[in-house]
Structure 1
Amino acid sequence: MSDLNALFRKRIGLSENKRITFEDLDHILEKTAKSIPFENFRVIEKNANVITRENLVDKILIHSEGGLCYELNPLFYLFLRENGFQVVLARGIVYNHEQQRYPASGRTHITILLTHEDQTYVVDTGFGGNVPLKPVPLTGEMVASANGEFRIKQTPTEYGDYIFEMKLKHKDTDWKIGYAFDSRQPMTDVSACDVVRQIIVEHPESPFNKSPLITKRTDTGSVTLTETSFTQWENGQMTKEPIDGARFTELLRTHFGR
């Protein structure tokens, strides 16, 4: 077993000896979302390393940090590949609901396409509070998880051939666009994701180069920490607390072990 495979299993609390099947992925995606946070600290610190296998292992598995989609999904892609799954990476663009448009920063989302028994699925561990926690088939069939309902529609846009849609639990009453993506230009080298890192770090419209953010799933919902607020979802109930720098440090340690 490779260092990546062993370290990833250790990070999410999965047995080293367990052979992973497609049916195990729901459980593994849940464990991953609760163990590895979605965060932009390296971007804010201007210390975002280039995307390589070695850098992903060092940052997320050895130093126990989290990451953004261009880190989390490439790492999970490598983990899946080492466990015998047929996977590729794909680029997408996240819809901006406040502005009701796709952003000028372009295709800055990385996702995973997994093929199992002649069916292709989106597997996404890097979509922050919107992660589906289950493989989502490209057939349009809806899947439901602890985080809501998810589906993928074959819809041509200038950004690709499919749209990932979601209806988040306790938050959405109607379907909304998560992101458009292109299944026709698969990537198999994680270094190809580095162009996304560069855009996220440098582009003025990037939402992740302005202020710190960290979030992860919990057994009862989710926790999200920014420099000005702490938001907690527990069994469908949300609490939001305004915070200062000292409280930020305290909450970061308490909820994220940092």
Structure 2
Amino acid sequence: MGDLNALFRKRIGIREDEKLTFEGLDDILEKTGKKIPFENLSIIAANLTDINKENIFNKILVRNEGGVCYELNAALYFFLEENGFEVTLVRGVIYNQGWMTIGRTHVAILLKHEGRTYLVDTGFGGNLPLKPVPLNGETVTSQNGEFRITRESTEHGNYILELKLKYKDPDWKIGYAFDTSKPVGNIAELNEVQTIIKENPQSPFNKHPLITCLTGNGNITLTDTSFTRWADGKVTKEDIDGKRFKELLKRHFDR
């Protein structure tokens, strides 16, 4: 395996010799959200491999693809770990007009710093906090909106991420629940998540291609039928066909 640390830095655009600090994580998360897209293209193409460090490295940093939560946050987890941060992976249940019924298929990162624990997530599509979110309920604000975590014990976990996306959400909404008492003990556990996402009929990511990333003033989302751009709170949407999909995929995502 090559140098994960060097290639991650190259992919998101930071210097090889830059020392990472907790205070600098905002910049890391913003750059990651803009440079590494959330996408399910390999799932749709049935081009999947086992979830391990080498395969994540090759997909995200050698082939310069994106991924879904368990790939993007696994890559960031390995990068943060190599740079001296105390991190663990944690699984959660997404809320989308009700709790999803396919189980704990969202994967995020818990980071400990100076006695406090924070949620870090670069694998939540267009809903990225872009900052570490403390588990003490404090609200953080980024270019993407406001985010906070409430402590609430449910069958889905013991904490809930809430968000209010800029220009989109007038009120707080639930993102997902996660369970800090059940950290991911081994990266191989994420193969179970991948199998559910790939095979379960209720999975939202095994039916149509989707690729999205943040931009300087919003985000762009491409599917097989539409291209949507949010810019400074204004949305434009174009209906597309297969040929146009390939053109936009190449132009905006270099794929």
Please tell me the TM-score bracket, short chain as reference.
over 0.9
Identity percentage of aligned residues: 60
* Partner residue in 1 for 2:21: 21
Offset from partner CA, 1:116-155 (integer Å, 9 cap, x none): 0000000000000001000000000000000000000001
Code of the residue aligned with 1:117 in structure 2: it is E
* Partner residue in 2 for 1:210: 207
* Partner residue in 1 for 2:46: 46
One of 123, 126, 137 as aligned partner of 1:126: 123
RMSD: 0.8
* Partner residue in 2 for 1:64: 64
* Partner residue in 2 for 1:222: 219
Q: CA deviation at 1:165?
A: 0.4
Q: Any conservation in 2 of the 1:122–1:135 contact (CA below 8 Å)?
A: yes
Instruction: Quote the Cα distance in structure 2 between the aligned partners of 1:63 and 1:157.
Output: 39
* 1:184-199 matches, cutoff 5 A: 184-199=181-196
Q: Secondary structure at the match of 2:33?
A: helix
Q: Any conservation in 2 of the 1:70–1:194 contact (CA below 8 Å)?
A: no
Code of the residue aligned with 2:252 in structure 1: it is H
* Partner residue in 2 for 1:167: 164
Q: Secondary structure at the match of 1:182?
A: strand
Q: CA deviation at 1:189?
A: 2.5
Consecutive unaligned residues in structure 1, runs of 5 or more: none
* Partner residue in 2 for 1:257: 254
* 1:63-212 matches, cutoff 5 A: 63-97=63-97, 101-212=98-209
Q: Any conservation in 2 of the 1:150–1:167 contact (CA below 8 Å)?
A: yes
* Partner residue in 2 for 1:248: 245
Q: Secondary structure at the match of 1:139?
A: coil
TM-score by length of 2: 0.98
Stretches of 4+ moved more than 2 A in 1? none
Q: Any conservation in 2 of the 1:51–1:190 contact (CA below 8 Å)?
A: yes
Offset from partner CA, 1:187-234 (integer Å, 9 cap, x none): 243222111111000111000000000000011110000000000011
Between 209-218 and 101-110, the greater mean CA deviation after superposition:
101-110
Instruction: Quote the Cα distance in structure 2 between the aligned partners of 1:176 and 1:134.
Output: 18
Between 127-136 and 182-191, the greater mean CA deviation after superposition:
182-191
